[in-house]
Each structure stands twice: as C-alpha cells, then as structure tokens.
Amino acid sequence: MTDRIRIALAQLNPTMGDLTGNLAKARAARAAAADADLILFPELYITGYPPEDLILKRAFVDDALAAVQALAADTVSGPSVLIGTPWREDGKLYNAVAHLDGGKIVGRTLKADLPNYGVFDEKRIFSAGRSAGPFDVRGVKIGVPICEDIWTDDTIVGAIVAAGAEILLVPNASPYEADKENVRLNLVKARVAAAGKPMAYLNTVGGQDEVVFDGASIVVNADGSLARLMPPWAENVVTTEWTRTATGWVCTPGEIASPEERSQSVYHAMMLGLRDYVNKNRFPGVVLGLSGGIDSALSAAVAVDALGADRVRCVMLPSRYTSDDSLVDAEECAKLLGVKYETIAIEEAVKAFGTTLASTFAGRAADTTEENIQSRIRGLILMAISNKFGPMVLTTGNKSEMSVGYATLYGDMCGGYNVLKDIYKMEVFRLSHWRNANMPAGAKGPNGRVIPERIIVKPPTAELRANQTDQDSLPPYEILDGILLCLVEQELSFEEVVAKGYDPATVKRVEHLLYLSEYKRRQAPPGVKIGPRNFGRDRRYPITNAFRDAR
C-alpha cells in the first residue's frame, strides 16, 4: 500500500471540436507532469464544453473516442490519466470520464446527474449514467463524480465513498458567473464535510461562445482546510502532493490565489471571452465604432487588453449631430489605447438616403426612422471594413439598452460579438473607473488611464438628433437598472417590483419595453455571460407574447 501519491491537475483551455489540438495539449500537459502518478483533465475536455448538438454527429464522437484511444496508447509509462470524453455504450451516449493506464482504456465512469437549466442542456444530448466505483490508481482508490454529480446533494458522492473511494477528484466545466467563487468553495467544503474525504475540484478555463470558464480550481482536505486555489483565467498544470495519514489522505498545501473583487473578475471574464471568440474563430482582430461615449470606450479598452492594440481598429463615424466633445473624447481615447483610429463622416450618406426616400416619405415628419438610418449607415460602414479587411465587428450595446430595445437592428446591433451584452449601464460606469485605476492580469493594453474622464461623467447620448440624451427616452439608469434586475435576473412580479419602492407607471413601461424588444434580442450577436440570467442561453422568452403582468 502506497503512502504517497502525486496528482496533477490540468486546468486547460480546449477548443470546441479541435480534437487534434486538444489531444496535443493533453499530451503536452502530461509530459509537463511526467513525475505525477495521475493527471486529471476537465469535464468533456477532449471535445470542449458545451458541445451542444455537435455531440449528436456520430463522426464527431467517433473521432473524439479515437483521440482518447491515442492518448491511452501513451500511458504505457508515465502518469495514469483521467479525461473527460463522450462515451458510447449500449446504443446510448454519455458524458463520461475515461481512465487510461498501461497503454489502454481501463475504466470509465458515467455522469449520473445531468443538468438541464440555465446554460445547460445535457438531458437533450446525453443519457444519465451511473457513477462507477472508485478507480485504483497506484493502489489508491480514486472516486470521480463529474461536475453536477456533486451539486445537487450528497447522494452520488456518498455512494462513491461507500464503495471505497479515498480521494475524490471532480472534473468540471463550471461556467463563470460574477460572485460564484464562494458558492463553489462552500459547495466543495459541504461535500467534503459530508463525505469525510478530501476533494480536488478541477475546472476548465476559456471562452466558448457566450460561456466563459474561469478555472479557479480548488483542493480541500477532509478537515475542511483549503489546500489549493489555482489562479483563475489562465491555463496551468499543477502537481499536488498527497500523503496517507492515520485519518486519511491529506494534500500538502500549496498556492492559494488571492480572491478577486467583482469588477476585477468581470473585466477578466470579458477579456477572456472576447479573446477566445476572436482567436478560436480565427479573426485577425476587431473593428468598432468609437463614438466618444462610454460603451464604445469600455468595449475598445477590453478589446485592446484582450488582443493588443495592433489588432483593434476604431472608427469615428460622425454626423451633423456629433458634438465637438465626442470628437475630441473619441480621439483621446484612441490615443490612450494606442489603436488605429480613423474618421469616416456619414453626412453625405445620410443626405443620399434622404434624397432616395424623399418621395416615399413625402408628407411625413422626421422621427426615429431618420435616426435609425444614421445608425444603419454606421453599421453598413463597419461591416464593409470587416468584409474588406477581415476584422470582426465588435458591437458595443449594454444590457440596459438591450433590455428595453434602445438599440437599432442592423445598425448599432450589427456585429459578431458584444462584451457588454450582459453588463448593465451602471456597471459599465464602475468597470470604466476600475480599468482606469487598475491593470488587469494578462492585459495587452497600456497601464494607467485608458478612458478619458469626460467620457465617464458626461450624460450618455446616442447623438442621433439635436441635444439628445438617453434620459429623454429612458428612466435614469440607476432606476432602470434596478427595475431590470428585478424583472430579468429575479423574475419578480409587477407588484413585487413596486413593493421595492419603484414608481408603478415606470415599472409598467419598463416591463412593456422588455417584452416588446424580445425580437431584437433574438437577432443580437452573442456576448459574454456575466450574471445568472443572460439574454440567450439563460433567458428564453417567446417573441410573440401578449402577457403583461402590469395591468
């Protein structure tokens, strides 16, 4: 019976569907942990997570299993492997972990508790399995519940421990949400306390479309002490040392990463989400309209920090309503960020559209139609630059605007990705202040102030008509955001929102705009999920909907 075991935790960033690349990365991680007895990879590592309906393609699963077999062939010597993979058995498809050792696949365990809420649709694509008894790795009994298997209750972990598990290793693909770190840690500690066994909670890292995984993997000893907290947002392979004691296995304490406050973690999530979306989809960079407003300034700052200034192109698209302040502020922001910056005036195009539509619009007063034409001209120009030179258009609207439809289809909504999609306006202000005062870890942008102070403090405006401000059409953002948090994140009733002190007429209007704008959100680009109810994967409302809670 061995009294020591070395377990490597591979907190890696797989690319969805890149089976060859993911296999190569797994081999490199295994080589880096050559002195370990065992290396653990995240949930569904070989394919990426979440695979959605791609997993229903038989050829994809066949190739994934072939990649796992190829990795198994490497295990004639060196560390044993536990790797997340799809698994086909008895005509059914499972979310599984395969145990590779001695040059072959020697065992597998099947995920029993399939999540089917929020961003998760596992019951759509997988069959519920049954957790296998612990794996024997160098004489140590290793139990492997898979992600959700530890989230619901103690049942699955209890059964694995009852079957003889001495150490619990949990591969995860646990998406980032702001303020979720303590939820995970408390969950792991609760399962450890109930099981009386130590647990390593390994999480994947990286961006997959809207979902971002922050890593931040955890090791907790049986006495509840935190032995490891791996840094978030970065790939890392860490070999942990375990010793058998009279009361069970103990992990030797190692690095405990410092906790992040909300703005810091949210900003890092936006950086990683954008970086992986651009890089994994092989765009050379991004282009965006830099208006002199706070949303585009923060979007540009995130883009530069994620990709580097040389991969970010900013375009000022002024009309006759664009103020001198906006022109000055946009140029200063571009200089602070060090990006390529140009000005393309849209007034001649606006006049051309006016002439073209003059007879059609005869007898009709100017209204939001003409305002939207300006926005669509800007979108057309940005898309033309994208088509000609290759960068993806970065959309810059925030969640407050998207909630109530304060955005133009095929105008400021056009583009490939939006880092502010799940960020309410008041948080846009907080993040802008935070970035001016802090240098994010791993950022490629400049240190110090990157957003001019006047952009942060001046009243927000779309500048589509003379003397326009957002508050002409919307409640003050501190009120609007408070109501939206109640309606969107918490799904509160009209009466419950009013009971919090909000004006009934304002709540009724915001609710109406929220429902009315669903058709716009269905056509919006994806963006980084930050909160518990992002528009898209989390919150799926019908477009055709006559219900109004406020009567």
Residues 6+ apart with CB under 8 A from 98: 68, 72, 81, 82, 83, 85, 87, 105, 107, 108
Report the SS3 class of residue 139.
coil
Please name the residue that has the structure tokens 């202000």: 429
Distance of CA 160 to the CA centre of its chain: 31
d(CA 252, CA 254): 6
Is 348 one of the annotated binding-site residues?
no
Residues 6+ apart with CB under 8 A from 144: 82, 97, 109, 131, 132, 134, 135, 160, 168, 169, 170, 171
Is 372 one of the annotated binding-site residues?
yes
Kindly report the backbone phi and psi dihedral angles of residue 60, in degrees, each rounded to the nearest multiple of 5, phi listed first. -65, -45
Is 493 one of the annotated binding-site residues?
no
Of 111, 141, 280, 421, the catalytic one is 111
Name the residue type at position 377. Answer: I
- Is residue 414 annotated as part of the catalytic site, yes or no? no
Is 289 one of the annotated binding-site residues?
yes
Give Rg (Cα) of the chain.
26
Q: Which two tokens stand for residue 324?
A: 């001198």
Please, what's the b/e burial string for 110-129 (b: 16 or more CB within 10 A of its CB; e: otherwise)?
bbbbbbeebbbbbeebbbeb
- Is residue 147 annotated as part of the catalytic site, yes or no? yes
Whether the bond between 14 and the residue before it is cis, its omega within 30 degrees of 0, is no
Is 263 one of the annotated binding-site residues?
no
Is 386 one of the annotated binding-site residues?
no
Helices (H), 281-424: 294-307, 324-337, 347-357, 368-389, 399-404
Is 290 one of the annotated binding-site residues?
yes
d(CA 438, CA 434): 6
- Is residue 111 annotated as part of the catalytic site, yes or no? yes
Is 293 one of the annotated binding-site residues?
yes
d(CA 70, CA 63): 10
Please, what's the b/e burial string for 301-320 (b: 16 or more CB within 10 A of its CB; e: otherwise)?
bbbbbbbbbebbbbbbbbbe
Of 25, 43, 251, 414, the catalytic one is 43
Is 420 one of the annotated binding-site residues?
no
d(CA 13, CA 48): 8
- Eight-state DSSP code of residue 260: P
Is 529 one of the annotated binding-site residues?
no
d(CA 450, CA 438): 10
Is 401 one of the annotated binding-site residues?
yes
Of 25, 122, 141, 147, the catalytic one is 147
Binding residues, as ranges, are 117, 174, 180, 289-296, 372, 396, 401, 520
Binding residues for ATP, as ranges, are 289-296, 396
Binding residues for L-glutamine, as ranges, are 117, 174, 180
Residues known to be catalytic: 43, 111, 147
Binding residues for deamido-NAD(+), as ranges, are 372, 401, 520
